[in-house]
Amino acid sequence: MPELFRIEHAHDRPLFTPGPVTTSRTVKQAMLRDVHPADPEFVEIVQNVRRQLLESAGVSSGQGFECVLVPGTAASTLETVIGSVVPGAGKILVVLNGADGERLAQIAAGLKIRTNLLKMSDQRLPDLTEIDRTLTEDRAITHVAVAHCDTTSGILNPIDGIGMLARRHHKAFIVDANATLFGIPIDLHSCSADFVVCSSGQCLESVPGIGLVIGLRESLEAVLGSARSHHCDLHAQWKALQNGGPLRSALPSQAMLALAKALEELAAEGGVPARADRYRNNYQTLLSNMRAMGFTEYLDSELQSTIVTAFHGLDCPGFDFQDFHTLLFEKGFVLSPWISSREGLIRIGTIGRILSSDVRSLLDAIWATLQEMKAPLESPSMV
């Protein structure tokens, strides 16, 4: 196997979470430099990264798309977008079926934006008929927002269908694609999104610290003067990037160097289709073997993404979620610490710089953990 795709966890526990994710040794090494954001070299890196991000996403500036880079986390990037594009008299419809949708609603509430919440079960896809009815009845709505993959459960929401409705009703459409962009093929033309939000620390397999927004140029032009913050002004940041700086919000230089390297590695892997195949293989390896050990999925299979999978804990004597999580951590594996207040779910991410062989190592550790917990199970036939 090429050196690029060897996984080296010498001192780090592999992260089986939906973000942040395990990164390659070479991405980490790319940060071992000091470069000033005003250096011509850095300015050129930023512009190359913007172009490569558009290309990797299957679009280009010639097709009317722009890439805006901002400093911060997935959540802060969402706050920059929502706070910049929804005008003072605007109202946002948040379609939610999990914690990531709740985050969108909380951001809007914190920014004092009028909000209409369309809440669904986290085991159900959003009802397009209900969205259509809401947009028809509530004429004050100006924007629609949804998480593509809600990592509460791993459900993959129908952004093409929601985007079609937003466009039919002449509403701007915001997609939180932090967990999916560059890890699942997304047709940015057909989903009709005005703003697609992503971050460096997930399917791009870089370190956290840089948020990116792929938006329609005409939609970016239309939000001039709408920002609620001087620092977090998406339009101003975009214009500064177009002009080569100085930026409204300076980008962290080491994180940018890591992202540039991560994009090289994405291209070397074969782009988004090849990365999506690797994630799919990771997911299939996880699913078949977790089933063999007696675990059942929280979602019906047709709703499930390849990003993160939620499993019910075992309903048997000896199994305790907290002990299970702790014992796996002691063996060197990190799962998402989030626990559903209703279900006590085990969430396992299959993205980041991991292979199906790494997933098998996790599965071996899970079986060993179950034996330590004395869960009364038959030895599975692992594949």
State both tokens at 336.
């998402």
State both tokens at 87.
């005008």
173 with 44, same domain: the answer is yes
279 with 227, same domain: the answer is no
Residue 122 sits in a domain whose CATH number is 3.40.640.10
Q: How far apart are CA 349 and CA 344, in angstroms?
A: 16
Residues facing 143 on adjacent strands: 92, 172
Answer whether 290's CB lies under 8 Å from 378's CB: no
Of 234, 251, 267, the position where a domain reaches its end is 267
Q: How far apart are CA 100 and CA 97, in angstroms?
A: 8
pLDDT value for 317: 78
15 with 141, same domain: the answer is no
Answer whether 77's CB lies under 8 Å from 70's CB: yes
Surface-to-core class of residue 112, CB atoms within 10 Å of its CB (0-12 exposed, 13-18 middle, 19+ buried):
exposed
Q: How far apart are CA 290 and CA 232, in angstroms?
A: 43
235 with 295, same domain: the answer is no
Grouping H, G, I as helix, E, B as strand and the rest as coil, residue 236 is helix
51 within a domain of the structure (yes/no): yes
382 within a domain of the structure (yes/no): no
Answer whether 348's CB lies under 8 Å from 359's CB: no
pLDDT value for 5: 46
Q: Which residues contact 321 (CB under 8 A, 6 or more apart)?
A: 313, 339, 344, 346
Question: Which residue range is the domain that position 354 belongs to?
Answer: 9-21+271-372
Of 267, 291, 320, the position where a domain reaches its end is 267
**Number of folded domains that form the chain:** 2
Phi-psi region of 346 (alpha: psi -120 to 50; beta: other; left: phi over 0): beta
278 with 256, same domain: the answer is no
> Residue type for 280, please?
R
CA dihedral 29, 33, 37, 38 (to 10 degrees): -140
366 within a domain of the structure (yes/no): yes
State both tokens at 24.
């390659």
249 with 286, same domain: the answer is no
Residue 368 CB neighbour total at 10 angstroms: 13
13 with 127, same domain: the answer is no
Of 251, 267, 283, the position where a domain reaches its end is 267
105 with 53, same domain: the answer is yes
E strands within 191-267? 195-199, 209-216
pTM: 0.94
292 within a domain of the structure (yes/no): yes
Q: Give the phi and the psi of residue 219 in degrees, each rounded to 5.
A: -75, -40
Grouping H, G, I as helix, E, B as strand and the rest as coil, residue 259 is helix
Helices within 35-158 (DSSP H only): 40-56, 74-85, 99-110, 128-137
57 with 111, same domain: the answer is yes
1 within a domain of the structure (yes/no): no
Q: How far apart are CA 77 and CA 329, in angstroms?
A: 30
323 with 229, same domain: the answer is no
Q: Which residues contact 140 (CB under 8 A, 6 or more apart)?
A: 91, 114
Q: Which residues contact 42 (CB under 8 A, 6 or more apart)?
A: 35, 36, 253, 256
52 within a domain of the structure (yes/no): yes
2 within a domain of the structure (yes/no): no
How does pLDDT run along the chain (383 residues), one tens digit per residue? Answer: 344 444 554 457 899 999 899 999 999 999 999 999 888 999 999 999 999 999 999 999 999 999 999 999 999 999 999 999 999 999 999 999 999 999 999 999 999 999 999 999 999 999 999 999 999 999 999 999 999 999 989 999 999 999 999 999 999 999 999 999 999 999 999 999 999 999 999 999 999 999 999 999 999 999 999 999 999 999 999 999 999 878 888 999 999 999 999 999 999 999 999 999 999 999 999 999 999 999 999 999 999 999 999 999 888 777 888 889 899 999 999 998 665 545 678 999 999 999 999 999 999 999 999 989 877 666 666 66
160 with 37, same domain: the answer is yes
Answer whether 117's CB lies under 8 Å from 75's CB: no
Q: How far apart are CA 154 and CA 124, in angstroms?
A: 11
171 with 196, same domain: the answer is yes
Residue 303 sits in a domain whose CATH number is 3.90.1150.10
236 within a domain of the structure (yes/no): yes
- 33 alpha carbon, distance to own chain's centre: 27
